[in-house]
Structures are given as C-alpha cells and as structure tokens.
Chain A
Amino acid sequence: MTSPLLSITGLSAVSDRDGKAPILRDVSLTLERGEVRGLVGESGAGKSTIAKALLGILPRSVRITDGSILFESRDLLTLSARELRGIMGSEISLIPQDPQTALNPGRRVEAQLTDGLRLKRGMSSRDARQRALKLLEEVHIRDPERVLRAYPHELSGGMRQRILIAAAFALEPKLVVADEPTTALDVTVQKQILRLIRGLQEAHGTAVIFVTHDLGVVAQICDSITLLYAGKVIEEGRTSDVLTHPQHIYTKSLISAGPRYDRPDAGLTPVPQTVFEQLRREIGIPEVRR
C-alpha cells in the first residue's frame, strides 16, 4: 500500500474569541484514496473546523497551534496562499452545506459551474460548456441546456445541490469535502443526494470527507467513521464495526438515542448526563459548559 491520500497528525486549534478555548485537541486521522469517511459529532465538536482547515478557509479567529495536514505528502498548513489556491478546486473541493446561499445569486449556473474548468483547466467557454452539460447529466438533471441558462433562484433546492455536487466533481478532485450537504434538504431529496454522491465517488474513485451529525446518514454512505466530541476523537473505525460494536459509552448511547423506526412508541432516549461527565473527565474539560 502506498502512503495515504490524507493524513492529519496531532492537529490542535484554539479560538481567539472565547478566551483561547480549544477547538481541536490532538486530532489524528488518515484517509485512503477512494475512502468515504464520516466526520460525526454534535455542534462544536470540531468537525467543521477540520473540514475548513482542509479547504484553507478557517476563519481568522481560529488558530492552529500544533499538528500537520499532509495531503499527498504536502503539508497544507505550511503551503503559501498561492500554492494552496492551486490545490483547492482541482485536487480538493467542497460540497457546501446550504444550496440556497452557496450559489451566487447574480450569476448564471453556466458561469458558476464552469469557473473551475476555465480557471484551472484553461478550457475555452465552449469546451467548458460541453463539459458542464455532461456533468449535469451525470448528476441526473433533466434539460441541462435550460438549467445552464438559469439563475440559481429559478431552481429548486435539490437541483441546486445537484449543481453544487457537479461543480465539486467537475475537476476530478482526489478529495471532496462534503459539509453536511443534506441538512438543508427535504428528507426525500436527502436520500437521492446521498446516493448521487456515493455513485459519483465510486465512479471517479474520489475520497470523501463527509461532515454530518446524523449517524443514519453515515450508515448509508460512509466506509469509516470518526466520532468527535469537544474537538477530540472519541471513536474511529469501519462504519459497520462502530455501529454494531461501539467501544465508547458515548458512541453506544448516541446509537441508542437515535429514533427506532421499527418501534415508534419507544420514544427517544437522550444521552445520559453521566456520559458527558465521563467524556469531560477523559478529555480534561474542567468546567461544565452545557
């Protein structure tokens, strides 16, 4: 086996805002080529921070204090802005969370979908347009000619998300970071979108980092899972192993907290306070924050 596509080692980050509060605590993670990894955790667990660090779009208030992010043995944290721009889009790309705001309302779909092709691949407008039509077909959009001419507001949320997915895969990147791409969508559309991402990922051999708080989504799409709490990796492993034989009590209670569709009368079991207390002890968080 060659070296992994991505290897994060000892990544730590603090927020400059609320009194140097740690956001990531010594996070390590390796991702093989073509692997789909679910990055799971509740709000504030640090999953989005990891995604943003990968894409070089960390807000200024977040400071990386330690660690490295090796992408094909280049450390993304030490590259210059110019070198980083060269990688972004063509080797690492993003499927954004909210299709309502992730497309520029003032530009037509064609312009936005072909941005990367023209900028990174130097394609002519005509070639880029042909490629864009193919891409739209790949994400199962009917009447792609019309969609290319449309403004984002003329399309449904599901359509827009498909366009964003097409754009993310446009340059055949090695890694796609999907930042909760189904949260803003209808449940019926969610499933189609998940299947679509999985299908494209398999067809192109792309590795995917799938950020989500939904274990059900992970079960559907991810090969492996990394569970985070308060910026710390709590559990990691193959999805089937983690979901059937969770090691940590937090993982166990999360899984049993999920709704049981076979027993709707059972209600929801919240994660017990004692579990959080144990977590905080393990990680070493002094003050109760919830």
Chain B
Amino acid sequence: MADVTSPAMPRSPSRMAKRIRALLAEPKVIFGGGFILILIILAIFAPYIAPKDPLEQDLMSGTLPPAWIEGSDPGFLLGTDDLGRDVLSRAIFGTRIALTVAFVAAGLAALIGTLLGLLAGWYGGWIDKVISRLVDIWMAFPPVLLSILLVAVFGSGVHSVIAAIVIIDWTRFCRVVRSETQAQARMDYVTAAHTIGFSRVRILFSEILPNVTPVLIALVSLEMGIAVIVEAILSFVGLSVASDTPTWGGMIAEGRQMIYQGWWVLVVPLIALFATVLAFNQLGDGLRRALDPVMRR
C-alpha cells in the first residue's frame, strides 16, 4: 500500500500519536484489528501454540468430539477428524494460508487496480476507454469459475491462488478508484492546484490520492475478507495448496463428508472463516471512519 500521508505534510510524533489515538477510539478498529492481530500471532507461532502436530494421525482416537461433549479426550480440545487429527491444531495452522493469501492477494490487487484506476480517472480520453473496457470485459466472467479455471491452468498451489485472486479482483479497485478520482478531479481544490502550477502527476499523487485513500483502505480490508473466502473455496474444491497443508477450506471439505459423525470438523473451520471475514470488514469500516479527516469530527 502507498503511504497514506502526502509527502508534503511533515508530521511530528505528537501528531502521529494523535492519529493513533483516534484509531484506538474506534471500537471497530479495536475488535477487528485485535482479532486479526491474534490471527497473525497464531499464524507466525503456530508450531509453538498448536497443542498437536496438525498432520499427525491417530486412528485410535478418530472422530472424538470437542472437550465439553461426553466421550471426548481432554488432549483434543476441539475434537478430532476421522483420521484422528487434532481439529484445533489444524485450524490454527490453517490461519497461515488464509492470512498469506489475504494480505498478498489483496495488496497486489489493490496496487494494480489503484494504479490503473488513477490513470483512467485522471487522464480520461483513450486511456480511460481502454482501461474501462478492459474492466467491463473482465467483470463479465463469473469470478469463481474464472478462478477455478485459472488455478487449473496455473496448476494448484498458494501462488496460483494468489495470482487468480489478483487477476480477478483488481477490477474492484480499478472501478472504485476511477470513479472516486473523477469525483475528486472535479473539485475546486484540484483546479486551485493547477493554478499554483503543479504538474498533473503531482496533483494526482499528492492531492487526489490522499483523498482516495480512505475508500481504498476500506476496500483493501473487504478484499482481504474476500480473498480468505476465495482461498477457502479453492481449497474446498481441492485446487489450492497440496492436501498435506491444513487449510480451512480443505477442512470444510473433509468435514462435509462426515457431518453426521462429527459436525465439529465442519463447524470449527467455518467459524474461523466467518470470524476472520467479519473482522476484516469491521477493521475496514473502522479504519475508514478514523482516517477520513472529514468524517472524523
């Protein structure tokens, strides 16, 4: 992501502190951001936090229920799947793929989409026509099908998943940034910047981009949530990483087959997925409120 503040605006540490305080006053940022932070810690320190090896099979203790249900084994807090693998440990290791995809895919999609959106919105003319038609054509493809197709072509693996998400979802950023740029370009302050003698490139990056950023931040957060879901879908259909790496989507696929024997195998990753997407959305909304100087009253 590009720097939020314009280079022409030096900010003293105390002002930085003020901005951070404003962020911390927003409950959505606290809850969403806090949850994501916990996930990041879980992902990084997964081998130390997870009680069991996520791949270790123990056929003697297959399909054990979570700890609070009768017949459980206190060693398996959230139960086991049919191969006797610890569901909790698998869910914890699953955050690694989910977060990697979320951050890298959303970041790259935002970068490409924002750049093209800024160009289209600011320069207009044939540049806008080419980019806009490209977006139109792009969006005519059903996204899930397209991503399955792309991964099928690239071969499975986390890189392909990321590539698929970026290739599909840059259009979201492009469309929003383009229209937001156009709206900002009509504002008098842009005219005023012209009359100071700023170059067009400078006006775009130091006047318009900072005003597009709040929307962009919200969008990146949403996109991270979407990326987590897309990754889960691709894992579910077996097109993401190899099956020896635990993923939430893969767990959901396995749990679906044994939903009557052990519902927790399905429900645990589902809750993880749901909570993560919710947290990203909340964080995005909170950030937008806290960072937008006009909304921050």
**B210 & A107 in contact (Cβ 8 Å cutoff):** yes
Q: Name the one of B191, B195, B211 contacting A106, with C-beta atoms under 8 angstroms.
A: B211
Complex Cα–Cα for A167 and B188 (A): 14
Give residues of chain B (157-211) contacting chain A, Cβ–Cβ below 8 Å: 187-189, 191-199, 207, 210-211
* Given contact pairs A85-B199, A88-B195, A97 touches B294 in the complex (Cβ within 8 A): no
B17 at the interface (CB under 8 A from A): no
CA–CA, A118 and B188, complex, Å: 21
Asked if B142 CB lies within 8 Å of chain A CBs, one says no
**B189 close to A94 (CB less than 8 A):** no
B293 contacts the other chain (CB 8 A): yes
Q: Which residues of A contact B (CB under 8 A)?
A: 55-57, 84-90, 92-94, 96-98, 101-108, 111-112, 115-116, 118-120, 125, 151, 153, 164, 167
A104-B207, A107-B210 known; A120 and B189 CB under 8 Å? no
**Residues in B whose Cβ lies below 8 Å from that of A151:** 293-294
In the bound complex, residues from chain B placing their C-beta under 8 Å from that of A89 are 195-197
Interface size on B, residues (CB 8 A): 23
B297 within 8 A of A: yes
B240 to chain A, nearest CB (A): 39
Q: Which residues of A contact B297 (CB under 8 A)?
A: 153
Apart from A106-B211, A115-B196, what 13 extra A-B contacts exist at CB < 8 Å?
A55-B195, A57-B195, A86-B197, A88-B194, A89-B197, A92-B195, A104-B189, A106-B213, A111-B6, A119-B197, A125-B10, A151-B293, A164-B192
CA distance A66 to B213 in the complex (A): 42
> In this complex, what residue of A is CB-closest to B10?
A125
Q: Does B8 contact A (CB under 8 A)?
A: yes
Cβ of B199: which chain A residues have Cβ within 8 Å of it? 85
A88, B188: Cβ atoms closer than 8 Å: no
Q: With A and B bound together, what is the CA distance between A153 and B296 in angstroms?
A: 10
Closest to A111 in B: B9
A93 in contact with B210 (CB, 8 Å): no
Contacts of B198 in A (CB 8 A): 85, 115, 119
Say whether B293 contacts A105, CB under 8 Å: yes
Q: Which residues of A contact B9 (CB under 8 A)?
A: 107-108, 111
Tell me whether A105 and B294 are in contact (CB under 8 A).
yes
A111 to B210, CA, bound (A): 13
**A101 x B187 contact (CB < 8 A):** yes
A11 vs B111: C-alpha distance when bound (angstroms): 45
Contact B196 A97, beta carbon cutoff 8 Å: no
Query: B192, A105: Cβ atoms under 8 Å?
Result: no
Residues of B with C-beta under 8 A to A118: 8
In the complex, what residues of B have CB within 8 A of residue A105's CB? 189, 211, 293-294
Would B195 and A94 count as touching, CB distance under 8 A? Answer: yes
Contact of A94 among B8, B192, B210, B294 (CB under 8 A): B192
Complex CA distance for A93 and B191, rounded to whole angstroms: 11
Please name all residues of chain B whose beta carbon is closer than 8 Å to the beta carbon of A55 when the two chains form the complex.
Answer: 194-195
Which of these, B196, B207, B210, B211, contacts A119 with CB under 8 Å? Answer: B196
> How far apart are A266's CB and chain B's nearest CB, in angstroms?
37
For B276-297 the 0/1 string (1 means CB < 8 A from A) is 0000000000000000011001
CA distance A215 to B199 in the complex (A): 36
Q: Which residue of A lies closest to B6 (CB)?
A: A107
Pairs A–B under 8 Å by Cβ, sample size 17? A56-B195, A57-B194, A88-B196, A89-B196, A92-B195, A102-B189, A102-B191, A106-B6, A107-B8, A115-B193, A116-B197, A119-B197, A119-B198, A125-B10, A151-B294, A153-B294, A167-B192
Of all chain A residues, the one with the shortest Cβ separation from B211 is A106
Inter-chain CA distance A56–B191, complex, in Å, is 10
Q: Please determine whether A93 and B195 come into contact, CB atoms closer than 8 angstroms.
A: yes
Contact across chains for A106 and B196 when beta carbons are under 8 A apart:
no
Closest to A120 in B: B197
Cα-based distance from A118 to B202 in the complex (angstroms): 14
User: What are the 8 closest A-B residue pairs judged by CB atoms, nearest first?
Assistant: A89-B196, A102-B188, A88-B197, A85-B197, A89-B197, A94-B195, A106-B210, A101-B188
Residue among A93, A96, A105 with the most chain B CB within 10 A?
Answer: A105
Q: Which residues of A contact B189 (CB under 8 A)?
A: 101-105, 112
B211 / chain A contacts, CB cutoff of 8 Å: 104-106
- Residues of the A chain whose Cβ atoms lie less than 8 Å from the Cβ of B294: 105, 151, 153
Return A20 CB to nearest CB of chain B, in Å: 20
Specify which of A84, A106, A112, A164 lies most central, judged by the most chain B CB atoms within 10 Å of its CB.
Answer: A106
B8 touches A56 (CB 8 A): no
B283 to chain A, nearest CB (A): 21
Report how far A97 CA is from B192 CA in the complex, Å.
10
Cβ-neighbour of A96 out of B8, B10, B192, B210 (below 8 A):
B192
Contact partners of B194 in chain A: CB under 8 A = 55-57, 88
A101 to B190, alpha carbons, bound, how many Å? 9
Report chain B residues within 8 Å CB of A167.
Answer: 192
Within the complex, the shortest CB–CB distance from A135 to chain B, in Å, comes to 14
A97 to B189, CA, bound (A): 11
- With a cutoff of 8 Å between Cβ atoms, the chain A residues found around residue B197 in the complex are 84-90, 116, 119-120
B8 touching A106 by the CB < 8 A rule? no
Interface string of B131-158 (1 = CB under 8 A from A): 0000000000000000000000000000
CB neighbours (8 Å) of B192 from chain A are 94, 96, 102-103, 164, 167
In angstroms, Cα B137 to Cα A60, docked, is 28
The reply to whether A98 and B195 form a contact with Cβ atoms under 8 Å apart is no
